[in-house]
A and B are shown apart, each in its own frame.
Chain A
């Protein structure tokens, strides 16, 4: 196991110039690790729709990868997004951050917690690049490879659940987030995902 913060610290070293979309629990941690115009805190969100938002962005900006941080509860609300991602491949790096809980509602277990093999689900729909890590040292060792090369990539990370969390807050209003993301996309010439 690893903590959510450890998992995201490792990601922060490898995200490069890619857009990062953070949802739910990740949205409360990611701004303390990175707060550039390419960091989009998807709060308020539509439940489970972070991967679909990321997918649209990646299709619109094929030269620029989009990393999306999604929880197990969010995944379960929109499992079809995996099929859509396989149907329309794009440079999406979907991190399934699995703590087996609905953390922001008080830590109730998600359906199938501890039994669902998210990596097998992703492979079964036709996503070829799938990685799983259940501890920080393995994720640290594998992150560079997992996050290199074209998407779609699914990375399943097992993290410790946290109790006593509240709903995440965005560091700035949504309109400002959108404005600065669009400006960054327009102005910054991306390096293609290598």
Chain B
């Protein structure tokens, strides 16, 4: 189970310096914790392609950003993702909320988001893991540390 304070504590423990984000209704609840975090800065952007490029600039400048967005924004941000991960080879770390995932699993949603999120990530050749309600912020931190140790771009999917 993820909540703002535990996620912020885990990210700060990993040395994450910036969270570049556009909220959705689930991860949006983390906003008070992100906004008041002592060791990381919350950067609000207008679109997800921008979030990825901004995080890339932070990386080039020696910081340790993550990108926190919803899958709808992932769909929009393909060109940025392609460029930053596959042309600049920066170890971008994304946390992506998957809208309607649980309802889709129950057959109770017509939202197309859960249908396309994982195939899109595979198409962009971005390795990922899905962390559900059985996982904790420590698992998110472990995924971050592992990806950074490999100098590898990586995504964590959070079912919503």
Q: Closest residue to B77 on the A side, CB-wise?
A: A46
Partner of B89, one of A54, A175, A181: A175
In the complex, whether B88 has a CB less than 8 A from a CB of chain A is yes
In the complex, whether B40 has a CB less than 8 A from a CB of chain A is no
Interchain CB contact under 8 A, B62 and A78: no
Instruction: Tell me the chain A residues, 115-147 only, with Cβ under 8 Å from chain B.
Output: none
Interchain CB contact under 8 A, B83 and A44: yes
What bracket does the count of chain A residues touching chain B fall in?
Answer: 20 to 34
Contacts A78-B49, A181-B60, A185-B61 given; indicate if A53 touches B54 (C-beta within 8 A): yes
Interchain CB contact under 8 A, B57 and A52: yes
Q: How long is the Cα–Cα vector from A74 to B61 in the complex, in angstroms?
A: 23
Q: Closest residue to A57 on the B side, CB-wise?
A: B57
9-residue interface stretch from A1-9, A10-18, A83-91, A148-156: A83-91
Q: How long is the Cα–Cα vector from A182 to B56 in the complex, in angstroms?
A: 13
Contacts A53-B53, A57-B57 given; indicate if A46 touches B62 (C-beta within 8 A): no
Per-residue contact bits, chain B 63-79, to A (CB 8 Å; 1 contact, 0 not): 10100000000000001
In the complex, whether A167 has a CB less than 8 A from a CB of chain B is no
In the complex, whether A95 has a CB less than 8 A from a CB of chain B is no
Residues of the B chain whose Cβ atoms lie less than 8 Å from the Cβ of A158? none
The minimal Cβ–Cβ distance linking A189 to chain B, given in whole angstroms, is 14
In the complex, whether A45 has a CB less than 8 A from a CB of chain B is yes
Interchain CB contact under 8 A, A81 and B89: no
Instruction: Tell me the chain A residues, 26-72 only, with Cβ under 8 Å from chain B.
Output: 44-50, 52-61
Residues of the B chain whose Cβ atoms lie less than 8 Å from the Cβ of A83? 46
In the complex, whether B84 has a CB less than 8 A from a CB of chain A is yes
Q: How long is the Cα–Cα vector from A59 to B65 in the complex, in angstroms?
A: 11
In the complex, whether B104 has a CB less than 8 A from a CB of chain A is no
B binding-site residues for A, Cβ under 8 Å: 18, 43-47, 49-50, 52-63, 65, 79-80, 82-84, 87-89
* 10 interchain residue pairs of minimum CB distance: A56-B57, A60-B61, A80-B46, A52-B53, A49-B53, A46-B83, A57-B57, A56-B58, A46-B80, A56-B54
